[in-house]
Structure 1
Amino acid sequence: MEEMSDTRFMKADEKRRVLRQWERFLKGGLKRELFTKALYNHLIQHCSFIAHYNLGGFYETYFLAGDDIATFFSQFDGRRGGGSPPSVEYGMSWVTGEYEDINREMIAVATRWIPGILKSAAATQRIADVSQAQALLAKHGMAL
């Protein structure tokens, strides 16, 4: 783990705690109960994500549908963008400044988990897509 430095709004210990919460969230399969307020706050304040009203809205926006999960994690996939992928919401660099240390570590941690997360997200999205297709066909008296 990279050495974390204190900033005006986040001490090094807080950065390490948020990083542990991040890894626990990824390791735990993106479970809602593992998505902490501190992690949410870091994502919206220092990772170039908009708040989506609150923690619940943010979670629903990014961690329920497979395609949305893939979009979110594209920002943390170190295999993209020369190891520093752009913000998914703003399209610009976000791994700079006083929070570069924790954000680079978040990318490193996520990159290890992303292949499995994306595989699961694709399966989840496929189920949702097929279900929606079946419902649309049924609406018009058709079936697969």
Structure 2
Amino acid sequence: MTNCSRSNAVIAPKLLKQVQSKLKDIQQLFPTTTNCIIMDKNGEIIVETSGTQTQKEKDKEKDLSMTIHQLKTYAITFGATLQYQDEVQHIHIRGDNHMFSFYVVRDSILAFFTNMDFDTGKDFNFQQADDKVKAICAELLHLLSSTKI
């Protein structure tokens, strides 16, 4: 089951269910995704989804939010050097067994981890998945726009 939390305010239950639904859509596009995080421009976690976690895993996730915030700066800088302006900037970083996906929408960030070995990644249709995630990002942005972040 997906758990969501917000560190700086309470999200209305109906809105939370809608956000959870959109994040589950991402987990269907990237089936072995373990958790998703939506962050504001200051690196504060707005919503996170994950399975059951140990305290050690939760601590790692806090450290991760700072890394994600730094990656946002790098991704924006990288995108600017290419002179490519897309509504949703994104980057995937793949290792041997895992992939980190990072989407920047205006001032917010969507980041998630996927268990994906390198060979599986070679056959995966990233363009199709990215197009669908971009649509989900637009819907999430609309859902969360009424929430003070």
TM-score normalised to structure 1 length: 0.31
Instruction: Please identify which structure carries the higher helix content.
Output: 1
Bigger Cα Rg: 1
TM-score normalised to structure 2 length: 0.30
Instruction: Please identify which structure carries the higher strand content.
Output: 2
